[in-house]
Amino acid sequence: MKSNEHLRHDVTEALKWEPLLHGAEIGVSAEDGVITLTGHVDSYTKKLAAERATKSVKGVRALAEEIEVRIVRENSLSDTEIAEAAANALLWCASVPDKRITVSVENGLVKLEGDVEWQFQKEEAQQEIEHIAGVIGITNLISVEPELNPTDIKEKIERAFQRTATIDSTKLEIDVNGSFVTLKGTVRSWAEREDAENAAWAAPGVSKVKVDLTVNEEEMV
């Protein structure tokens, strides 16, 4: 396992390598694989970029993200303009049922509500508005209410694990209760953890995924 200082250095280098974060003031601390990010950025997009860069680093077991988004108001939109831009973004996104989603904005904080059939639609709705100027945070309360009710969810997830090169399916256990999936076991990296979660979400009929996976680098061959 990497030392705290080694891991902190690697995360800092990953943040420097991210083009969007050039000049961003982000502090990094590490403790037993748990990374804490502090400081501020001038857009929500940069905040997300910092999260992604950190999670990509080998040895990161968990992330505490305390980055503040500080918007330069003269270059951003009002709440009304943000709401209009978000509604239009959802309208023009073919994969999102915009009529089933409502958008509210207060002081740059966006709240999404409604329901969709698939998890990817919930994620896509959020991604469509992440880059709107003036957005400082998003609360995604969209629920996934699939019309499908397949009985072979577990089998589909198992097959997805077997098809994915980064996932060692022998180390994972899948529990299915209705449309609620729980993943248990150990993975070799944060990336493998996310790949397993994404594979579970991609199965038809899944409305919730609980990830109870331990990152253990000693499992790496």
What average pLDDT does the segment 89-104 reach?
A: 91
Above pLDDT 70, what percent of the chain? 93
CA separation for the pair 97, 12 (Å, rounded): 39
Q: Band of the pLDDT at 178, cuts 50, 70, 90?
A: confident
Pairing label, strands 180-187, 172-177? antiparallel
pLDDT tens digits for 129-172?
A: 998 988 999 999 998 876 655 557 888 899 889 888 889 888 89
pLDDT tens digits for 111-130?
A: 999 998 888 899 999 999 99
What's this model's pTM, rounded to 2 decimal places? 0.61
What average pLDDT does the segment 167-193 reach?
A: 89
Residue type, 88: N
